[in-house]
Chain A
């Protein structure tokens, strides 16, 4: 047996040929409806891209269509979560990943600010307790 060198390999550059699967377009329409709703009633919309029958390249196509805007943020909780505003204000992308940088969930959040960015009430309550303790430490030390 020649070994691995005996196997003819053909490397295809997939990026050169984006196939039109057509699954990105309906999402764009859903986003548009969500943006309208946000504008008129201030009601947010969440779209979970996980549940959709994307073919290879569909997701890249969609993200490329949405583009990037002015804001980018990274959250460090149970692994990184990247949040960025698309080129369309009001349309945010929330990319939850675990500690091994593997994707947990990818949401499109149509809102003024994604909920996960804001400081959470429980954490604030916890912060008051810790700050009190920290202040007490310093006051005590002096």
Chain B
């Protein structure tokens, strides 16, 4: 299934001049957040790269990640990425093909055993859950994943659902949803979280894998540091306002109109690691904070259950007010009872006190 010619040959066949190729590499370097001087390095690597086979499995997902990717802005660059890889299976994009798509998938997996890249979006019901919660062509997600992982070289978990469980795993998690990393322990896994991920990040990670032929440097959550190494807060253009202590207090108030920091409106920028602040969305048009909406923290685990989107980062989870009240009342009751008992003991002792005379004491002692 995967073509055996190199990317360089493939591009020349497309009629892409050397200049066009250099432009493509410059754009790819920019997209991968590499210094622009890496353009020639990428050119040299891609020139010789062979098109790997890619199998894309979609499980319990909203299709937002696929939408994000196919919406990614420069058809020229992303198209070429997909010319660069051989997307041998994508069940959403191939839905019309039905059973033949499944046959194609199995053939691709067999022919490229040990070499193909497995991309997963969506979470999956855990191994002990009812497999009927999510199936494709009658095969449970878990079985399909296990089979696909066996012959994969590496797995890319796209979107917060695949990376961390995402929305299906949010309380009360009725399907027992788990992430890819919860299942896959013996193959390299790259997490590309985000709800959805910034489209250019998805293609950037694929491009990075193609250019360098190995996994990028990953953080503690298996996310590529190139895109997830900086917090939103550290790259936010509104940071000077935070540092000065100028905050918007409510939506569309004077501070909000002036573009002040959105911390008090619930921005999770300080604890969120993603590329939104620099790469932005919709071809670099804008991103949530620039549009006046606080960051949701969508590339972090459990972000759906992390308090509230409009509750500040420093606010507690749960209802501490009622805890304080209940505990206070209990304490007051306990203290009251203890004090009452102590007082009663004192009055009883005073009442039962038997006076002694000096003679009695002298006799005793």
Direct contact of A and B (CB under 8 A): yes
Q: Which residues of A contact B (CB under 8 A)?
A: 19, 21-23, 46-48, 50-56, 58, 75, 77-79, 81, 94, 96, 98-100, 102-105, 107, 115-116, 120-123, 126
Q: Quick check: is B73 within 8 A (CB to CB) of the other chain?
A: yes
CA distance A105 to B200 in the complex (A): 12
CA distance A122 to B25 in the complex (A): 15
CA distance A120 to B40 in the complex (A): 12
Number of A-B contacts (CB under 8 A): 102
Say yes or no: B36 contacts A107, CB within 8 Å: yes
Assuming the A-B contacts A55-B237, A55-B238, A103-B284, are A77 and B19 also in contact, with contact meaning beta carbons closer than 8 angstroms in the complex? yes
Which of B27-35, B60-68, B150-158, B303-311 lies at the binding interface? B27-35
CA distance A31 to B237 in the complex (A): 20
Which 10 A-B residue pairings sit nearest by Cβ, starting from the closest? A55-B237, A77-B20, A120-B18, A46-B36, A104-B27, A105-B30, A98-B74, A98-B76, A122-B18, A78-B20
Assuming the A-B contacts A50-B278, A53-B236, are A99 and B75 also in contact, with contact meaning beta carbons closer than 8 angstroms in the complex? yes
Query: Which of B16, B36, B239, B259 is in CB contact (< 8 Å) with A48?
Result: B36
CA distance A115 to B73 in the complex (A): 25
CA distance A99 to B18 in the complex (A): 17
The secondary structure that dominates the A interface is: mixed
Assuming the A-B contacts A47-B36, A53-B277, A55-B238, are A78 and B16 also in contact, with contact meaning beta carbons closer than 8 angstroms in the complex? yes
Say yes or no: A77 contacts B37, CB within 8 Å: no
Say yes or no: B17 contacts A107, CB within 8 Å: no
CB distance from B206 to the nearest CB of A (A): 17
Taking CB atoms, residues of chain A closer than 8 Å to B31 are 50, 105
- For residues 129 through 179 of chain B, which have their beta carbon under 8 Å from a beta carbon of chain A? none
CB distance from A41 to the nearest CB of B (A): 15
Say yes or no: A56 contacts B290, CB within 8 Å: yes
CA distance A48 to B30 in the complex (A): 7
